[in-house]
Amino acid sequence: DAGVIQSPRHEVTEMGQEVTLRCKPISGHDYLFWYRQTMMRGLELLIYFNNNVPIDDSGMPEDRFSAKMPNASFSTLKIQPSEPRDSAVYFCASSFAGDGLRQPQHFGDGTRLSIL
Amino acid sequence: DQQVKQNSPSLSVQEGRISILNCDYTNSMFDYFLWYKKYPAEGPTFLISISSIKDKNEDGRFTVFLNKSAKHLSLHIVPSQPGDSAVYFCAASGNDMRFGAGTRLTVKP
């Protein structure tokens, strides 16, 4: 079975450009999570969805970040305009509903984003 | 706010010895805890979990211990193997969920 698929794997762009990261969760999973990993802060939860509905976006750093989940098989994380401090590895993860957040998550391999 | 803390950024142990990774949390509403392992250029993968109704859960070489009164959990790996070298993340969940910053484990042959 395919796992969580993220694209692109690497993205290098200039400051001020719009960046769109994509995620396809595992079929049948009800939750989808977006994380950012940096050396300083480790793995930060940015936002998560349940059945395509955003539940908690308190981790989104600022208004330049937005996330959507138009259907059960696709989600995007957008940064507009991008800044050098947004450089990080961004992970998407999904899980079954089960007992809410008390479920192991399946992670994609991440998108390494570099803003010049 | 660092609700889940892994205070040791790195740990080095000899092959065959025990590795102990520690994690502390502050939110008493967390009642389910997980450990993930991450290799370079890959996403984290689930390793083992424990519910707050238990104080120990074992899976092969991996054992997680939970001390609720101290809000502390630990992951024991015994015996440690070179293939265990990775970054280990602790996670806590309930009505919310948070990850720690990770501990890089190096197992030397």
Q: What is the pLDDT of residues B56-85, one digit of tens each?
A: 999 999 999 999 999 999 999 999 999 999
As given in the structure block, the two tokens for residue A54 are 């955003």
User: Is the minimum CB–CB distance between B46 and chain A shorter than 8 Å?
Assistant: yes
Q: Is residue A81 within 8 Å of residue B77, measured between CB atoms?
A: no
Distance from first CA to last CA of chain A, Å, rounded? 36
Tokens 């919310």 appear where?
B96
Residues of B in contact with A35 (CB under 8 A): 99
User: Is the minimum CB–CB distance between B59 and chain A shorter than 8 Å?
Assistant: no
Q: What is the pLDDT of residues A34-76, one digit of tens each?
A: 999 988 788 999 999 999 999 999 999 889 999 999 999 999 9
Q: Give the C-alpha separation, A94 to B23, whole Å.
A: 24
How many residues are given for chain A?
Answer: 116
Residue B32 CB neighbours (<10 A): 19
- Mutation target to probe the B interface, by most B beta carbons within 10 A, among A26, A94, A102 is A102
Q: Are residues B46 and A104, on separate chains, in Cβ contact within 8 Å?
A: yes
Tokens 């999973």 appear where?
A29
